[in-house]
Structure 1
Amino acid sequence: MGSTSQASVGTRVVHRRYVPYAHAHYAGNLVDGAYSLGLFGDVATEMCILTDGDEGLFASYSEVQFRAPVRAGDVLEITCDLVRVGTRSRTLELAVHVVARGEPTAEQPGAARMLEEPLLATTATGTVVVPA
């Protein structure tokens, strides 16, 4: 396509996602950490499309930290901030916050609430590459 990169430090992409109960793997409806990494791939792909007109490729993760549990029934906010722009590489700061949590009971199986303060669940630094 030959378009000029629009990549600039400070660009942000935000997604929200409901975590279906089908993704629970462990007791307490816990979801595995790979779920967050998959969400990071989604926001990074949008970032590459936005800035470079190409889906790009994830080259590496560093500083991955699982800080709090993600559970089925959660609503997550996934952020991707562009923090460094190279010739073909882009460094991204990524985070998953829980913004709502399912709280089912026997009387109200669909009960849930918005959290007063988002709960930081997962963070990472990622590097993506885009075509020249």
Structure 2
Amino acid sequence: MTAPSTAPVGTRVVHRRYVPYSHAHYAGNLVDGAYSLGLFGDVATEMCILTDGDEGLFASYNDVQFRAPVRAGDILEITCELTRAGTRSRLMDFAVLVVARGAATPENPGAAQVLTDPIVATTATGTVVVP
């Protein structure tokens, strides 16, 4: 039996992830938009475990926005915030921010830089259900 949700609205989960070059699918080392959606699933799973002791199931995404490219070599910060908790459904806001980006040159192929102002790459709202 799953315990009722104990986390208040406003609870946040944050993950960070390096994007390997093996995930680039397009010219310019671009990564497909589905990569961000997979990361949203990861933070939503942690949120459901924290709030309900269950992994939950994604029911829908609303208003997915691809605002800026994600590239191989980026370091991403993925956030999830619980915005509403019903009896079995949980509404969450998601964001992928690019916090560091590769800056390779022929002279320095491993160069990278932390961004002073993170880039908002993807945002969405999603609904998950728990038993």
Percent identity over paired residues: 79
CA distances 1:14-51 after superposition (whole Å, capped 9, x unpaired): 00000000000000000000000000000000000000
Please show how residues 71-86 of structure 1 align to structure 2 within 5 Å. 71-86=71-86
Q: Distance in 2 between matches of 1:122 and 1:52?
A: 26
Could you tell me which amino acid in structure 2 is paired with residue 64 of structure 1?
A: V
In structure 2, the gaps of 5 or more residues are: none
How many angstroms does 1:8 deviate by?
1.6
Unaligned runs of 5+ in 1: none
Q: Spell out, residue by residue over 1:56-109, the C-alpha distance to the aligned partner (whole angstroms, 9 max, x if none).
A: 000000100000000000000000000011000000000000000001111111
Whole-Å separation in 2 of the counterparts to 1:109 and 1:33: 25
Give the Cα separation in 2 of the matches to 1:85 and 1:8. 8
Alignment RMSD (CA, Å): 0.7
Counterparts of 2:129 and 2:5, CA distance in 1 = 12
**C-alpha separation in 1, matches of 2:110 and 2:17:** 17
Matched with 2:116 is 116
Q: TM-score, normalised by structure 1?
A: 0.97
Q: TM-score, normalised by structure 2?
A: 0.98
| 3-state DSSP of counterpart to 1:110 | coil
Distance between the aligned counterparts of 1:7 and 1:90, measured in 2?
11
Count of paired positions? 131
